[in-house]
Structure 1
Amino acid sequence: MDQPQPPKIKKLDETVVNRIAAGEVIQRPSNALKELLENSLDAKSTSIQVTVKQGGLKLLQIQDNGTGIRKEDMEIVCERFTTSKLTQFEDLASIATFGFRGEALASISHVAHLTIITKTKTSPCAYRGSYIDSKLKDPIKACAGNQGTQIIAEDLFYNIPTRRKALKSPSEEYHKIAEVVSRYAVHNPHVGFTLKKQNENLAEIRTRPNSSHSEVIGNIYGNNIARELLAVEGTEDTFKLKVSGWVTNVNFSTKKMTFLLFINHRLVDSLAIKRMIEQVYSLYLPKGSFPFVYLSLCMDPKNVDVNVHPTKHEVHFLHEDTIIERVQSMLEKTLLGSNTSRVFYTQTKLPSFSTDPVSNKSKPDLDKTNDNTLLNPKIKSNSQNNVTPAYKMVRTDALEQKLDRFLSSNGAESNVGTNQSKYKRRDIKLSSVKDLRAEIEKARSSQLMSVFRKLSFVGCATPCLFLIQHDIKLYIVNLTYVLDQLSYQLLLHDFGNFGVFRFEEPISIKELLLLALDLPDSGWDPASGSKPEVAEAAAQFLATRADMLMDYFSLEIDADARLCTLPQVLGESCSMLMLDYVHCLKF
């Protein structure tokens, strides 16, 4: 019987080798963008604009105002291992730039149609070159252009269909691109970043040059985070370590951790540092709650190995455990100082809209009730034989204390009238609404319904978290999520059947929009026009949709673009309660 012969070893074609290498460096559009962003930052850019189409798969364009590329370098700029930042291997020990291998543009040219337009300060004009598989397709041409470099990558992974199919939806890829831009914008507040989709005027991300870290964080991640930020700073002379960053205090929490880590100004991941942060915050935040953390670690380049992974998202450094301990100590010190002041929220009655008087004759005055009456009525205080364990006692009975008692009971007339007329409920036959209602019905939980029907409100721990009691269990509830779901389900349930609150005097929609545009988190961009222009255009647009808004949402808008009614979503009692609700105490 013939023995099988070993296959012959052959040298791979250079095109195949380069395409395989490109697949390691450029794994998805966000990886390509990261490489291009770092090139722009290495070129001392102060303005970087990113434009994408179909999540970066159809088009990924980046334009900067950096130093540009010399005309004589254009021919080899996309060849592998051509770089201006490294001459010998020993230079890695002191490398301070992002790129150093000369693989980014080469890798992109092997998996996309690449075009480069660039102009240096001393050049009389810009030059344009198109590349495929690291080589120029046509001779370099002179063209008009501003100082800096514009790189256009089209049809990413057009020649690797399996990779293209393995990628997620364009919207998911766009989200990852936005994450990369957001992180570099936070770390480089002196640079103005812009991210938008092709053919759209409104930018998803827009930061101004020479901003502060906290301003950029507020711009991108929201002012609710920016208001709770604490500065982290520290040095460690032994390891030439400098730590800086911004973290949220113990009053803030969110469902998902946002963690930005830069080591020697390079965006990286570190599972060990992330675990350390989670451990520190676990002492202050409820389970399942997480902070916002941005940290920048600068250390001696000789102690950092950046040549670990083709994408450079991973680095190794000496004395890792000891350095992480030092960073943990700095973080704990920062949070400990903020923990001396905590914010709690309590309910109080405020003079506001009135409603029908609420009779309290059948309700006990809890302020005058002795301790025993706070127990469940079924438990007799003078019983000595059957002692109930303390952990089974229901200290606050939800059946005794109603939300009604927090409503204002004065008889003053309201500035807002409610439509109390009874009418036959319309049957909405829109298939889209019916499908959404069916989804809610399918996902409902009888256990959660029981908890919310029989809960006892305990109090607010933070602006977003409150405590409730059900039977002998204590729950912590995310108010933001609950209100979001409540409003969504009520809007679906009463779609086309809302009652109305009618204003005695209609309110100008333009004036309301001007007030909204003055808020810090309005997202207004001067490039979209002046505030009065934006408000006027939006008000007129809503006026053209007045019939639909009234029919579906009970929003009446008159011919002068004035708001006459609001939908009664929660019902009259709950709506009045929402107007009376929160008072903040700090101690």
Structure 2
Amino acid sequence: MGKIRALDPSVVNKIAAGEIIISPVNALKEILENSIDAGATMLEILVRDGGIKLLQVSDNGCGIQLDDLPLLCERFATSKLTNFQDLENIATYGFRGEALASISHIARLSVTTKTNDEQCAYKVSYNEGKIVDKPKPVAGKNGTSIHVEDLFYNIPSRLRALKTPNEEFTRILDVVGRYGIHSKGIGFSCKKFGDSSYSITLKPDFTTIDRIRSIYGNNVATSIIGFEMDSNENLGLTKVSGYISTSNLNNKKSVQPIFFINDRLVTCDPLRRAIYNTYTNYLPKGTRPFIYLSINISPPSVDVNVHPTKREVRFLHQDEIIDEITTSINDQLSKLDTTRTFNRGVMMSKPLTDNSSTKYSQAATPTTTHPMNSSQTSQRRYENKLVRVDSSQAKITSFLKSSQYNSAEYISASQHIGKQSNTASDNNKDKATPIDLNDDVNITRSQSLQDESQSNTYSMLSKERVTVNLTSIESLRNQVDMSAHKELTEIFAGSNYIGIVDYYKRLLTIQFDLKLFLVDYGAICNELFYQIGLTDFANFGTIQLQTQDTEQLSIRNILKTLNLAETKIDEISSQLVEMKEMLWEYFSIEIIENESHVAFLKTIPLLLKGYTPSLSKLPLFIYRLGTIVNWNSEQECLDGILKQIALFYIPEIIMEVSSSSESPKGEKHSNTENAHKKEELSEKIEHVIYPCLKRRFLAPSSIVDDVIEIANLPGLYKVFERC
């Protein structure tokens, strides 16, 4: 009797599955490719124990037809091709019909899917390629969710050969990051089971540079250039594009090159070695480049069916194509190799006393920790030194806010003192956000300007930006440059807003790196609005003031609320009327006179769309303009007006009152009203002022004492032994 026997089909299937699914990352790669083939624009990945206990991928693609579910996990059942010749022009990731079949033989697999035509989703489980039960109708959204549990539960030897869960999760992040960089228009999110934050978050509208920055960090993103190469029909090379690092990249740990050939993620060792050899002429010894290339070759010249995991392909004229690519890279690098930047380490002392200057026209960019940076994954991360938040990621609450916080270019509107609209000069958007307002408020000695519960209605102005060449303004801007504190500027640029802790003392908290800071937001806002005034000088928007009784807006009536002498009021009014043309041209402060030569305040400047200064401070603002500003010196005059505008824009103090407390006027203050003021101010600071501060604020050395470190993570661990 012969010794050769046919293997049992279950054994054959397990052997084949072991060739295709070597580790959790291979299963993820196959599922990701199926989701992309299905036209998904958002993929959500959940991982537990490195994908061994749980690997879940949900997408919003076209879904799977109900009639196709019985064949979903059958080996060699596919919708991608019908005959062998189709491989020559295959344009999808999948084509063999083995991925889900292999997973079902070595794991517990369930699928929930819904097409646009179905009224509900269907859930079904698979075992060894066969459907277990009939599809069950369940609630679900369009798309497919693949649920893989207990990977390799029936192959103990393979399970023992896997790396630690953390190492497997790192490999999963690497693959998600590579597909995320290449897949334009598709969003990705990936996190560990039980974690509150995502390890990777890529929005569908992210550019390739944004994706590289999110995955590999700002150090890589700022040291790369776009790369494109002409086609070569003789070699079947249709297009080569991507991003390559310059000689300024300082990255001791190598990031494996990202190669996509005909949109397939592959490894190509000959190409990698050739590119590394090219970079030896441009990078210091021991430094590796960052390479992302998308190579399109005529499909008949490419054989995609040469490796079980599809990680390799073969293509004609390989040596010639590699030579073309490396020559083009060398040509581009040689044009840029005129200067080189080397970073040197500097010990950051705890006191913020370094007065290093920062360029006024540029915002500082913080260095952040990214999960995919290969220079960090090999190092052990201690919990007491782990930064758990990313300043570049938005909070979930930001998606609940109105679009009123968006910017617009030259916007104008009307405001009843109680009915208000604003104008802003911000070049980011071209839409205005209308908001209604109802309360009318009178200006009298007993009742100053109020602006509770105000909202804004914006409209566009056809106004071109004015270029200012005044020597005095340039001098003031240079002073800001010279006084900038580099270390403190980087803290604000890379910080995370925590919240307000004291509305009376105007204190809030922020987190930067491992440290928690207490900040005097009154002092910070004063400097911020002064810098905005310098930057947008002569290009402010306007807040138009209107009331039913126009007499309320006369300079005289506004100043009467301060109990000033009549002679002083006349002096201030005359001074402002005399300088009204300059105030309007440079500061958008419009003062008009009626037939009786009575001066009225018509507009005040708008520095930041979405934020209106407290109108209760308007009388003091007018008074200080007329008495403190030195009108005889150009530079001192302009500087003084900008400082008064900045003071006017500082958020007002909110007193702590109880339900029974009374004001000097005998009016009872409501806890509800006070809480509303706090809530409104908190939203304005978090969603309007602080984002602007992170983008454009140059912290001066004068505010070092207004930023105090109150805690740090290593110190808290020493006390509490946990976070």
TM range (shorter): 0.5 to 0.7
2:615 aligns with: none
Structure 1: distance between partners of 2:30 and 2:201: 20
Alpha-carbon distance change, 130 to 554 in structure 1, aligned in 2, over 3 angstroms: closer
Answering whether residue 522 of structure 2 is matched by residue 527 of structure 1, we say: no
2:10 aligns with: 15
- Say which SS state the counterpart of residue 107 (structure 1) adopts: helix
- Look up the equivalent residue of 1:61 and give its one-letter code: Q
Answering whether residue 60 of structure 2 is matched by residue 65 of structure 1, we say: yes
1:565: how far off? Answer: 6.6
Structure 1: distance between partners of 2:36 and 2:128: 25
- Say which SS state the counterpart of residue 79 (structure 1) adopts: coil
- Look up the equivalent residue of 1:524 and give its one-letter code: Q
Answering whether residue 177 of structure 2 is matched by residue 182 of structure 1, we say: yes
Alpha-carbon distance change, 554 to 48 in structure 1, aligned in 2, over 3 angstroms: closer
Alpha-carbon distance change, 234 to 566 in structure 1, aligned in 2, over 3 angstroms: same
Residues 192-211 of structure 1: matches in 2 within 5 Å? 192-211=187-206
1:291 aligns with: 289
Alpha-carbon distance change, 534 to 226 in structure 1, aligned in 2, over 3 angstroms: closer
Alpha-carbon contact 2:515-2:709 (below 8 Å) kept: no
2:49 aligns with: 54
Q: Which residue, out of 144, 161, 164, partners 1:166?
A: 161
- Say which SS state the counterpart of residue 498 (structure 2) adopts: helix
- TM-score scaled by length of structure 1: 0.62
Alpha-carbon contact 2:41-2:186 (below 8 Å) kept: yes
1:345: how far off? Answer: 7.1
Residues 124-523 of structure 1: matches in 2 within 5 Å? 124-238=119-233, 239-258=236-255, 259-343=257-341, 522-523=391-392
Structure 1: distance between partners of 2:515 and 2:224: 40
1:522: how far off? Answer: 2.1
Structure 2: distance between partners of 1:274 and 1:50: 29
- Say which SS state the counterpart of residue 150 (structure 1) adopts: strand
Deviation sequence 1:266-319 (CA, Å, 0-9, x none)? 000011011011111100111111111101100101000000011000100000
Alpha-carbon distance change, 539 to 234 in structure 1, aligned in 2, over 3 angstroms: farther
- Say which SS state the counterpart of residue 75 (structure 1) adopts: helix
Alpha-carbon distance change, 287 to 313 in structure 1, aligned in 2, over 3 angstroms: same
Alpha-carbon distance change, 255 to 84 in structure 1, aligned in 2, over 3 angstroms: same
Deviation sequence 1:6-27 (CA, Å, 0-9, x none)? 8621111111100110000000
- Look up the equivalent residue of 1:274 and give its one-letter code: R
Alpha-carbon distance change, 262 to 563 in structure 1, aligned in 2, over 3 angstroms: same
Answering whether residue 534 of structure 2 is matched by residue 536 of structure 1, we say: no
Deviation sequence 1:513-569 (CA, Å, 0-9, x none)? 9xx99xxx62433326689997336989xxxxxxxxxxxx999989x99845789x9
Alpha-carbon distance change, 325 to 538 in structure 1, aligned in 2, over 3 angstroms: farther
1:413 aligns with: none
- Look up the equivalent residue of 2:126 and give its one-letter code: Y
2:587 aligns with: none
1:321: how far off? Answer: 0.2
Structure 2: distance between partners of 1:345 and 1:42: 43
- Say which SS state the counterpart of residue 278 (structure 2) adopts: helix
- Look up the equivalent residue of 1:525 and give its one-letter code: A
- TM-score scaled by length of structure 2: 0.50
1:229: how far off? Answer: 1.2
Alpha-carbon contact 1:189-1:216 (below 8 Å) kept: no
- Say which SS state the counterpart of residue 343 (structure 1) adopts: coil
1:120 aligns with: 115
- Say which SS state the counterpart of residue 180 (structure 1) adopts: helix
User: How many aligned positions are there?
Assistant: 395
Structure 1: segments with no counterpart, 5+ residues? 1-5, 356-406, 409-463, 465-479, 493-512, 541-552, 570-587
- Look up the equivalent residue of 1:181 and give its one-letter code: V
Structure 2: distance between partners of 1:79 and 1:347: 57
- Say which SS state the counterpart of residue 536 (structure 1) adopts: strand
More divergent stretch after superposition (119-128 vs 106-115)? 119-128
Q: CA RMSD in A?
A: 3.7
Alpha-carbon contact 1:53-1:60 (below 8 Å) kept: yes
- Say which SS state the counterpart of residue 290 (structure 1) adopts: coil
Structure 2: distance between partners of 1:255 and 1:108: 37
- Say which SS state the counterpart of residue 119 (structure 2) adopts: coil
1:225: how far off? Answer: 1.1
Alpha-carbon contact 2:391-2:496 (below 8 Å) kept: no
- Say which SS state the counterpart of residue 195 (structure 2) adopts: coil
1:347: how far off? Answer: 12
